[in-house]
Amino acid sequence: MTQDMPSPDAPLRIGTRGSPLALAQAHETRARLGQAFSLPQDAFAIVVIKTTGDDRTLIDADRPLKEIGNKGLFTREIEEALLGGEIDIAVHSMKDMPTEQPAGLLLDCHLPREDVRDAFVSPAHATIHDLPQGAVVGSSSLRRRAQLLNRRPDLQVVEFRGNVQTRLRKLADGVAQATFLAMAGLNRMDMDDVPRTPIDTTDMLPAIAQGAIGIERRENDSRVAEMLAAIHHAETGLRLAAERAFLATLDGSCETPIAGLAELDGDRLRLRGEVLRPDGSAAHGGEITGAASDGPALGKSLAQDLLAKAGPGFFDWHPA
C-alpha cells in the first residue's frame, strides 16, 4: 500500500444513509477494509448523510416512489458529499444505483453478494399462493407489485413505504396481510425472527443488483482506488456488469418494472430478465448465456430481445 494510510487521527470517511440496513453495510465495508490493511476500527469514520429518500414527510405520505424521484432518491446527497470532499467513499445498495454515475465518480468496487432472493413476509401465511382471495399485500416496489399481480391478479396491493422496520410495523398493525423484503437485508441485520419464506428466483426474479453492495469513490483518488481494489469481489462485479447493462439498454424508468439476475458457472454467465406492465397484465422474459467476460454485451443483447418481444407500445402503456 502507498503512503497516507488512514489512522485514528486522519480516518477514512465512509458516507452512508442512516437506516439500520445502510449502517450494517457501512460497518461491513469498514470491517473488510480494516482486515485487509490491519487497521483499527477507529481508522475509519462512518458519516451519516440524510437523502431525499430518508425524508419522513415523504415516507409517511405513502406516495409512490415514481412520484418522488426513484433512481437517485437514496444516493444524490451522498454523491454530492463525495464530490465535495466531505467523505472519501460512499457505500450503496446497488439496486438503488442509477446506471450512470456523476462525472468524477466511479463505482468499481463490490463486496461479495448476499442472498439475491425476495422474501415473502407474513405472520399468517407461508407463500403467495396461501393468501386468501382478495388479500391485501403491501409493497412500494413497482417490480414486486407487477410480478405479484401477474401471478395473483385477485390480490389488492397497497403502497408500503419506509425502511425494513417501518414496513414490519405496518404489517404488525394490520395495514396488510403480507409484504416483501429482500433476503439480503434480513440476513445482514440478523433478523432471524421475521416470519419469511424465500422466493425461488424461478418464481420471482429479483431487482437488478439485489443483494449487492457497491462502494463509490472519486475518480482521481488513487489512495482510495488502491484500498478498494483489495476488497473488490470480482465475481459480483462480473454479474452486476451484465445486469446493469441489461437495465441500461432497457432505459428502465421509474415506471417500468424490470427484473434480472446473472449467475456464474465457472467462466460462463447465465442472465435471465423480465419486463412487465405495472398492473401485471403482461410480462416478457428471456435468458442468455455466454462468456462471463462478455457480460455487458450479453445484458445488452437480452434487453434488445425483450424490447423486440414487448413491442414499441409496451413501455408507453398506461392504465385506462
Domains 12-111+212-232 and 243-309 alike in fold: no
Fold of 12-111+212-232: D-Maltodextrin-Binding Protein; domain 2 (3.40.190)
CATH code given to domain 243-309:
3.30.160.40
Point out the least confidently predicted range of 2-16, 18-32, 198-212: 2-16
pLDDT given for residue 71 in this prediction: 56
Average pLDDT over residues 192-206: 94
The CATH number of 118-198 is which of 3.40.50.1370, 3.40.80.10, 3.40.50.300, 3.40.190.10? Answer: 3.40.190.10
How many whole angstroms separate alpha carbon 185 and alpha carbon 210?
Answer: 10
> Which member of 54, 96, 192, 267 is catalytic?
96
Q: Is 96 a catalytic residue?
A: yes
How many whole angstroms separate alpha carbon 236 and alpha carbon 248?
Answer: 18
Point out the least confidently predicted range of 42-51, 57-66, 132-141, 193-202: 57-66
Query: What number of other Cβ atoms are within 10 A of residue 293's Cβ?
Result: 12
Per-residue pLDDT tens for 71-100? 566 788 999 999 999 999 999 999 989 898
pLDDT given for residue 59 in this prediction: 47
- Mean pLDDT, the chain, rounded, equals 90
| Spans of all domains in the chain | 12-111+212-232, 118-198, 243-309
Q: Is 162 or 172 the better-scoring residue by pLDDT?
A: 172
Average pLDDT over residues 261-267: 97
- Crossing angle of helices 222-229/20-37, nearest 10°? 90
Q: What is the pTM of this model?
A: 0.90
- Can you list the alpha helix ranges (DSSP code H) found in the chain? 20-37, 56-60, 65-68, 76-83, 142-151, 164-172, 183-188, 222-229, 234-250, 295-310
